[in-house]
Amino acid sequence: MMPLDSSENTQRLRGLFREASARFNLRGILGITRYDAVYDSLMPIQKTRLEEISGEQHREFMDAGFFVSIAYVYPDGIIDNIGVTRDGGFDKDAWNTYAKWYETLNYSLNNTSKEIAEAINGIPLPATSEGMASKVNTVKDYYPTVVSHRVHAEHSGIGWRGKNGLLVNSVYSCMIRLSGVITSQPLHISSRLDESCVACESCLKVCNFLRYSDRLDDYREQCLSYMNWLDLDDEVCGKCIKACVYSSKFESGVDSSMDSGLDSVFYTHPI
């Protein structure tokens, strides 16, 4: 049997992802980029982690490997539960609805990346580990344990890096979760987005840690402490995500004529 070319492989991959997203009843986004581009963009300590994950295949991946970026979107309305107040304080029951969906998306992403990895002879990279905030003393303790999903998703065109440090998708804003797969199977690369937040500062207005990040050694340390203080069912906050979703950047809606060719990221649902 003749090996499939990059276009055929990519179409097959999209089909597998469409089936997975339908099974979990979630909207999905898929992008593809080169392994070496991701590796070169990682901080040194995460380059080491990627080398550990790839093992003896690292050299092969550097020559002709790919990152498959996978995103699932929060269902409509879930983000609205972030930061809701009641009787003079936070409504944690409502906020925990978002925390529960954080876990649900992680579960769905982990299953999807594992299934796709098995289908294309790849290595799955699970969603960011839950429960890490209570296991590390500082954010820097967390960096060696993961490979940044935001890096490969940014390279693959799923989104751009927002002023809150998160990935911003041009359709769904920040209300996405990410995982990935590494493979040597030839694939068609999707284009990196040429977009940015421009003048939008919605996330900065709702979070003093972001707004005054230039005065802090690392604002993420304050985020970590705040999540622990909130003591929700999972280690989440999400205020900046909600602000981005409802910002002027997205109030005009979505361009339904967006390209769906192999050079673009793939959406499992019409946009």
Tens-digit pLDDT profile for residues 24-52: 999 999 999 999 999 999 999 999 999 99
Residue 96 CA to residue 71 CA, distance in Å, equals 21
User: Given a cut of 70, is residue 135 above it in pLDDT?
Assistant: no
Mean pLDDT on 208-235:
90
Backbone angles phi, psi at 245, to 5 degrees: -60, -40
Mean of pLDDT over the chain: 91
Cβ–Cβ < 8 Å for 128, 167: no
The model's confidence at residue 140, banded by pLDDT at 50, 70 and 90, is: confident
pTM beyond cutoff 0.85: yes
User: Given a cut of 70, is residue 129 above it in pLDDT?
Assistant: no
Residue 143: per-residue pLDDT = 76
Give the SS3 label for residue 173.
strand
Q: Measure the CA dihedral 20/24/26/28, to 10°.
A: -20
User: Given a cut of 70, is residue 125 above it in pLDDT?
Assistant: yes
Residue 2: per-residue pLDDT = 40
Angle between helix axes 92-119 and 6-24 (nearest 10 degrees) is 140
Residue 216: per-residue pLDDT = 86
Residue 149: CB atoms within 10 A of its CB come to 23
Residue 144: per-residue pLDDT = 79
Mean pLDDT on 152-173:
96
Residue 201 CA to residue 50 CA, distance in Å, equals 33
The model's confidence at residue 133, banded by pLDDT at 50, 70 and 90, is: very low
Residue 249 CA to residue 201 CA, distance in Å, equals 10
What pLDDT, in 10s, does the model give residues 248-261? Answer: 888 766 554 455 67
What pLDDT, in 10s, does the model give residues 95-122? Answer: 999 999 999 999 999 999 999 999 999 9
Of 62-76, 124-138, 230-244, the one with minimum mean pLDDT is 124-138
Residue 136: per-residue pLDDT = 60
- Between 261 and 87, the more confident residue is 87
User: Given a cut of 80, is residue 162 above it in pLDDT?
Assistant: yes
Cβ–Cβ < 8 Å for 80, 242: yes
